[in-house]
Amino acid sequence: MKKIARIHFPSTVVNARIAESISVFYESMEDFFKKKGWKWVPQKRTGDKWIQEDYTVEIKGKYKDGAYRDILFTMRRTPGLVGQSANRKQLNMSNDHKFSIFLPREYPANLSLIKMRTITRLWHPRISTGSNGEACITVNGEVDRILIDILYHILMDPRRIRPPKLFPKEDSGMNSIAMRWFEKDAENIHKLMLTKWDANHEKVSLKESGGIRIIGAEGVEKLVTEDKGTTIKIIPREEKEEEKKGGVRII
């Protein structure tokens, strides 16, 4: 059987398409920030790096012909769960996260070959806690959609994570403990993350009165789940996490 030749678009075409997709991501987030009333500082591009207060996107690797291959996506002021206590009632939280995204040379074809790797630690139903950190995450489009989906996975959006209790045809993910905990009260957990995300951002309406930044309380927040009144403590923390490499397999 003959192998089907893979189509490689010219590197200049691929890079221009990826750059445009990255710009679309920033435009989408700017529109979202404005609708939320959050302050948005426009991104600046320097070479193959786009820098903005909340999100930085950088090309970290290229193919031999110069086509973009590896993307580093850095998120700030974005609450995510990074660990669980031994008694499974306390979850540590961080606002800073990094993902590495591998693009196949055939991009924008063969999107199923896209791979991702967690650079910072995450405790997430669809990311393994093992050394490889493998996960199965649906690719819904090109780079702009991938970046947005990563963001909402971190924010524990049930529509991205798709717990089997809400989506019976789905599996239990790569971290079954996290999945069982999450699906007991998925919507309220997501709402809590959105509330903390909102608290991390300066509101435009305050800018003229001195630009006061609204920050969430440093104390422990409690989330009462629907399962027998179980209380899950969410402990926010700002200290830097040691970088722990993992991988995310997209299928």
* Packing angle, helices 143-154 and 11-36, rounded to 10: 40
Q: What are the pLDDT digits (tens) for 63-92?
A: 999 999 999 999 999 999 988 766 666 778
Q: Which domain covers residue 132, as residue numbers?
A: 11-249
Instruction: Give residue 87's pLDDT.
Output: 65
Q: Which of 36-50, 102-116, 126-140 has the lowest mean pLDDT?
A: 126-140
Assigned domain for 6 exists: no
Assigned domain for 2 exists: no
Assigned domain for 5 exists: no
Assigned domain for 48 exists: yes
Contact yes or no for 225/232 (Cβ under 8 A): yes
Assigned domain for 59 exists: yes
Please state whether the predicted TM-score (pTM) of the whole model is above 0.85.
Answer: no
Assigned domain for 113 exists: yes
Q: What would the 3-class secondary structure string for 114-136 be?
A: CEEEECCCCCECCECCCCCCCCE
Assigned domain for 4 exists: no
Total domains present in the chain? 1
Percent of the chain with pLDDT over 70: 75
| Radius of gyration of the CA atoms of the chain, in A | 19
Quick count: other Cβ atoms within 10 Å of Cβ 82? 20
Assigned domain for 1 exists: no
